[in-house]
Amino acid sequence: MRRSTLGAGLVGLAVFVTAWKVIVIVSGFPAYILPPPEAVGASLVQAWLDGTIEPHAAATLVEIGLGFSVGAGLAVVVGYALGRSALIARLISPYIVAAQATPILALAPVLALWFGPGLLGKVVISALIVFFPVAVSTMVGIRSVDAGLLELGRSLRASRRQVLLTLEIPAALPSIFGGLRIGVTIAVVGAIVGEWAGAQYGLGVLVNLARGSLFDTSLMFATLATIAAIGVALYLIVVLVERRLVRWR
């Protein structure tokens, strides 16, 4: 990352924290409604140091990682089929859209019932929510492959595999990465929602614990900050990979 980008990020953070502090002072909300930033910061450091957050963060990261990989992986394959075959698109896209239109919060208990309260359930929920944007962006990407380039491939007697590897995938890559950017952030949502439907560990669990039995609003905010930071970090990783692979744009 360039120096100026980093500088801008720090300035933005400073503005955010200052505004937060001002709101706390002006509004006079008690700390159990809106804790001041320094309390949340202290709680964040404390909870990481004493190992309160770590096992939960680790559990959530595993769920996100698996959910994103499985969901995005399947979505690229299905999205390719959707993009290449109008028949397949007509047959299965209604179900894909229906699955996406059904709120994940309503689906989560059902999926938890089917796949159990363990890791599998969370991975399924996260993968399901990741699937849609990645599948659609892959489909759009594959459909956008220049017909002229495909004809060029044909005139050069490119095999099916060569067309896929040298024309379709490179051409669709920018679009696929658009889907992956969205996918990786909502993979976080999927994991947390899955944890809410029943789990022993996970940042979603910790939010509930902090709000309920522990009644520690600062810890709750610290957990939320951790979730947000994970989302931002994963997003940046996707952007970095994209920059390496899609240099020509």
Partner 1 sequence: MTVAARSGHIEARDLTVRFRRRDAAATTALSGFHLDVRPGEIVSVIGPNGCGKSTMLRVLAGLIAPSVGMALLDGQPIHGPDARVGLVFQEPRLLPWRTVARNIAYPVELAGLPEAERETRVKELLHRVGLADAADLRPGQLSGGMRQRAALARTLALQPEVLLLDEPFSALDAMTRERFNVELLKLWERLGTTIILVTHSIAEAIFLGDRVVVLSSRPGHVVADIRVEVPRPRTLDRLDEAAVSATAREIRAHLEANEP
**95 or 248: whose CB is closer to partner 1?**
248
- DSSP class of residue 150 equals H
Q: Are 99 and 132 in contact (CB under 8 A)?
A: yes
- The answer to whether residue 38 forms part of the interface with partner 1 (CB under 8 A) is no
- DSSP class of residue 35 equals -
Does an H or E element contain 139, and which?
helix 119-143
- Among residues 7, 16, 94, 154, the one that binds partner 1 under rule CB under 8 A: 154
Q: How far is the CB of 166 from partner 1 (least distance, A)?
A: 7
**8 or 156: whose CB is closer to partner 1?**
156
DSSP SS3 for 33: coil
**10 or 152: whose CB is closer to partner 1?**
152
The structure tokens listed for 58 are: 């680790």
Phi, psi values for residue 52, rounded to 5°: -70, -45
- The answer to whether residue 41 forms part of the interface with partner 1 (CB under 8 A) is no
Binding to partner 1, residues 90-149 (CB under 8 A)? 146, 148-149
- The answer to whether residue 42 forms part of the interface with partner 1 (CB under 8 A) is no
Phi, psi values for residue 225, rounded to 5°: -60, -40
DSSP 70-86: HHHHHHHHHHHHHHH-H
Does an H or E element contain 48, and which?
helix 37-49
Mark 157-196 with x for binding to partner 1 (rule: CB under 8 A) and - for no binding.
xx---x---xx--xx-x-----------------------
Binding to partner 1, residues 190-249 (CB under 8 A)? 246-248
The residues of the shown chain that bind partner 1, judged by CB under 8 A, are 146, 148-149, 151-158, 162, 166-167, 170-171, 173, 246-248
